[in-house]
Chains A and B, each alone.
Chain A
Amino acid sequence: MGPVPPYVVVGLVVLAGVALFLAGSLGTALLRPHAPTADKLTTYESGVDPVGEGWAQANVRYYLYAYLYVVFAVDAMYLLPWATVLRLPGFGWRTLAEMGIFLGVLGVGLAYAWRRGVLRWL
């Protein structure tokens, strides 16, 4: 038998994961107690009756965390596969320039954050 095609390996790993999950769920379903009471089904609030809803509004100023996350993490996600293929034959200065344009756009965003002062650690 020759080398196994890589996507077959991926498929087998996914199947093994699903099978493991199902086996675990089935095992606990066969073993666990099922004993609901009215009190047990109430929402937890430190032993007292729960008041209000579960939803609360977050202040919009926290958008900066999401913004910086996009600038840095999405950036890294595109840089990593690019770095593995850059040195191969067929990729050259043009590849570098394309990534440079992408980094330039991200740099504008980073400059905005810098000017707003959110990168300063007080």
Chain B
Amino acid sequence: MAVDLPAPRVGPLAEAAPRPLRLVLNWGRRYSLWVFNFGLACCAIEFIAASMARHDFIRLGVIPFAPGPRQADLMIVSGTVTDKMAPAIKRLYEQMPEPKYVISFGACSNSGGPYWDSYCVTKGVDQIIPADVYVPGCPPRPEALLHGILRLQEKIAAEQVSGAAIAQRRRPASAAQLTRPLVGPGGSGPLRPAGS
């Protein structure tokens, strides 16, 4: 596999989009998310509850249960990420087309959760893929998932999709980021923002 793949880029119209066009494109992208649910454990049940009648995230534009990664642009990792499952998550995340977003749903995928000390759990899905929104809880209420989706939509509204942004997301975490101390009580912002 010595073939050099080209650097990530977006189409010329998207790269040079004036602000009104960017607003329209972001609007279309954030209200038509197609979610590839990575339901691994108990949080998957809460995800399903959020997709059903009482809570219903379809009214936010999120269409549930994409047939596969190639038709999805949002991946919600809900449940414990074991070391055995981690390569599959990475492969499926890679197979999603750009621009793609990840919501880490529940304590286990945020940081390992109750299994923070286990021998076979990946302590947080952001160790392998960049996450955009973290929804805390064990399990979080379906309303919390709705809140997380709203936060993601706000984030997409302020986004500028470009080749540089895609390349930035792909950069592996720096050594300083991996060995940073835990956030103290006066903590400053999210634990591990994607791409920084």
Contact = CB atoms under 8 A, between A and B. Distances in A.
Contacts of B189: none
Interface in A79-110: none
Contact of B95 (A30, A32, A34, A44): A44
A48 to B, nearest CB: 6
A37 B68 contact: no
A33 interface: yes
Interface residues of B, number: 29
The SS class assigned to the B binding surface is helix
A30 B21 CA distance: 13
A35 B163 contact: yes
The SS class assigned to the A binding surface is loop
B88 A40 contact: no
Contacts of A29: 11
B70 interface: yes
Interface in A19-71: 27-40, 42, 44, 46-48
A33 B8 contact: yes
Given A38-B5, A40-B95, A47-B92, A33 B12 contact: no
Contacts of B8: 33-35
B70 A44 contact: yes
Given A30-B11, A39-B91, A39-B95, A44 B69 contact: yes
A38 B1 contact: yes
B9 interface: yes
A32 B5 contact: no
A30 B14 contact: yes
A35 B166 contact: yes
Contacts of A44: 68-70, 95
A30 B8 CA distance: 14
Nearest to B70: A44
B193 interface: no
B87 interface: yes
A89 B103 CA distance: 71
B91 A47 contact: yes
A36 B167 CA distance: 11
Interface in B1-48: 1, 5-6, 8-14, 25
9 contacts: A28-B11, A30-B13, A33-B11, A33-B97, A33-B98, A35-B8, A35-B166, A37-B94, A48-B91
Question: What 9 A-B pairs are tightest by C-beta distance, nearest first?
Answer: A47-B88, A35-B8, A39-B94, A30-B13, A33-B98, A33-B10, A30-B11, A47-B92, A31-B11
Given A30-B14, A31-B25, A35-B9, 11 more contacts: A32-B10, A33-B9, A33-B98, A33-B99, A34-B6, A35-B163, A35-B166, A38-B1, A42-B95, A44-B95, A48-B88
